A and B are shown apart, each in its own frame.
Chain A
Amino acid sequence: MAIAREDIGRPPAMAGEPDDAGDRSGRARTAIVLLALLLVATAVFSLASGASDASASAVLADWLSGHGGDTLSARDRIIVHDIRLPRVVLGILVGAALAVAGATMQGLFRNPLADPGIVGVSAGAGLGAISMIVLGNGLLAPVTAMAGIYALPLAAFLGGLASTMLLHQVATRRGQTSIATMLLAGIALGALAGALAGMLIYVADDRQLRDLTFWQLGSLGGSTWTKVAAAGPIIAVALATSLLLARGLNALALGEASARHLGIPVQRMKNVAIVAVAAAAGASVAVSGGIGFVGIVVPHLLRLLIGPDHRYLLPASALLGASLLLLADAVSRTIVAPAELPIGIVTAVVGAPFFLWILLRRRGIVDL
């Protein structure tokens, strides 16, 4: 039998994979449909739940019938329109971005521990955010005056992008990006950014320290349509780009040389993947702070379920990442209502034990 064209991009079965490791594309397609339904359900659930008793269904019905809405209280309208809806949209974008960025990085680095942090996004974005929190009223006051309350996300995004570009420059020689160099340089850059952040933390006052702590824990609180408009296009383009890389990432699983022989423009793909990840993760970190674990847990869970084929893994990661983040956010919004628990706490508290459970149950097969 001749090898079908689309089989070229499929990674070889790996040693130690479970019995069902053969062709799992049928299963993967079913999984994607189910995950899409799950996302719709969690989005509706998120829109309908919150600290207040505002009824999302009433507001939705009001929209669909096109009323100016004299029947609804202005409060309910604002809660659903301006608090919950942008938050749900941002949750979907950020969850999808974090999970896809994680899956892309793991494929690109052929390392199950890779996450967007490796390309320097976290270090740079963190430094950008801390600079703005601590120096926003001093040295960086002109920026604050210009960008208003969006100065912080802007600084985080620029910081992430700058550090990624720097790291990429360091790791690229004669047009070849060395993944290993990038990993090591990333650690060095992370240490440097950490030290600079430490200096800023030293000069911070107690209020700023509290802000830093809350920022680091991550939150979708304070989601506004402006943030959606700012982060949405960046994340959407980055996600679409990542999805297009699926075949190349599959080929890369065989090794760079083999991928090149299969006709994959490896270097160009690396450049594109790194920029896409930096943009997706940078925009996410900028609007929501540090939300951990989604980028690691989601792709691994899906690899166990539907296999390592990136053509299915990437879209499934986007869907599951978005659903998980929406659920985590619904918990964070309601569990201590009317107060709110930072979402980073929820994702780590739920994600870490779950991840350990997977590792224990299927020891030795968490592999690419």
Chain B
Amino acid sequence: MKLFVSTYRVLAGALAACVMSVSAAGALEVERFADPSRVVVVGGSLLEIVYALDEQDRLVARDSTGVYPPEAMSLPDVGYMRALSPEGVMSVNPTAILMLEGSGPPEAVEVIRKASIPVVSVPDTFDREGILAKIRAVGHALGVDDKAAVLSAQVESDIRGAEEASAQAGSRKRVLFVLSMQGGRLLAAGSGTAADGIIRMAHAVNAVEGLAGYKQLSDEAVYEARPDAVLMMDRGGDHAASEDELFSHPAIAGTPAAQARALIRMDGAWLLGFGPRTASAVRELSARLNGVGD
């Protein structure tokens, strides 16, 4: 009987907690962890930032998007950032959770919050200011604002330098980012995507900037986009399409990119992560774009 009574109490409590967290989801967020000694970090760029701040000794787990630096791979993996398991996250006994905005599902985050484990959700935007804001937020949450200020100043000047160098290098090439070409259909990145962000930072033009998000392109749209270069992730699996396969695609074959055989492959986490390594990604992308057609 007791069991039922207490189950009932739990039920009522859960209902109340859920109503509260819906109405005050923002207010419950802590900005700085009281005890940042055992941190789970969710989101590849946040993981990189923690390492760049040299605070990796606090980490107890990462999510499956956290693949850099290589030594981080030895941390337990709590799964994909948008399909977290609350018990899995809690099983590593974290005192704090640092997650990129959009991590979830919301029910999992709610249960974790209920267990009094503080969660900081860091916004993710695909530009220079977004990266700097992430660094400051991570540093603040971990209580190392000074280090974060140093890192963010360094990253800022690094990125500005890379952006200026890209701008001076001149020609604004049209770049088509291809996420995959399964079954001969191109899935390309339009505006508002990480790929679009990095193309802009490299002072190039997204060949399909009229589209929003990742979209499948019709062959004619690919032809109309007239890309000077095709950009892809270098990650194997679905994303791999051989150069021959790509340039023999009827829609691509007629574009300037195919004539110059301009295919740029870069590591996905590096190219699209928007973290401390983004400046070097911008430099690399810009250099390789400028090599196109030479």
Contacts and interface: CB of A to CB of B under 8 A. Distances in A.
Given A338-B85, A339-B80, A225 B10 contact: yes
Interface residues of B, number: 46
Contact of A211 (B10, B22, B82): B82
Contacts of A82: 10, 14, 111, 114-115
Interface in B105-152: 105-108, 110-111, 114-116
B213 A205 contact: yes
Interface string B209-228: 00011111000000000000
Given A52-B91, A79-B87, A207-B82, A202 B216 contact: yes
A75 B115 contact: yes
A134 B7 CA distance: 35
B107 A222 contact: yes
A4 interface: no
B86 A83 contact: yes
A206 B88 contact: no
A148 B22 contact: yes
Nearest to B88: A338
Interface in B64-83: 64, 76-80, 82-83
A340 interface: yes
B163 to A, nearest CB: 25
B92 interface: yes
B90 A339 contact: no
Contact of A222 (B11, B92, B108): B108
B106 A229 contact: no
Contacts of B7: 85
Contacts of B108: 221-222
A78 B15 contact: no
Interface in B30-70: 61, 64
A347 B264 CA distance: 41
Nearest to A208: B213
B268 interface: no
B89 A338 contact: yes
B214 A206 contact: yes
Interface in A195-214: 202, 204-207, 209-211, 214
Interface string A71-93: 00011001101111110000000
Nearest to B106: A149
Contacts of B102: 207
A333 to B, nearest CB: 7
A63 B193 CA distance: 50
Interface in A86-144: 86
Contacts of A227: 107
Contact of B87 (A52, A148, A342): A52
Contacts of B3: 63-64
B213 A206 contact: yes
Contact of B88 (A51, A64, A209): A51
Contact of B22 (A149, A206, A337): A149
A219 B14 CA distance: 20
Contact of A339 (B2, B6, B88): B88
Given A64-B3, A83-B111, 19 more contacts: A50-B91, A51-B87, A53-B91, A63-B2, A63-B6, A78-B111, A83-B87, A149-B18, A204-B213, A205-B212, A206-B214, A209-B214, A226-B14, A226-B15, A229-B11, A336-B79, A338-B87, A339-B85, A339-B88
Interface of B: 2-3, 6-7, 10-11, 14-15, 18, 22, 61, 64, 76-80, 82-83, 85-93, 102, 105-108, 110-111, 114-116, 179, 192-193, 212-216
30 contacts: A52-B88, A63-B2, A63-B3, A63-B6, A74-B115, A75-B115, A83-B111, A148-B18, A149-B22, A149-B105, A205-B193, A205-B213, A205-B214, A206-B179, A206-B214, A207-B102, A214-B82, A221-B105, A221-B108, A226-B14, A229-B11, A333-B87, A336-B79, A338-B61, A338-B77, A338-B88, A338-B91, A338-B92, A339-B78, A339-B79
Rank and list the top 3 A-B pairs by shortest CB-CB distance, nearest first.
A339-B79, A222-B107, A52-B91
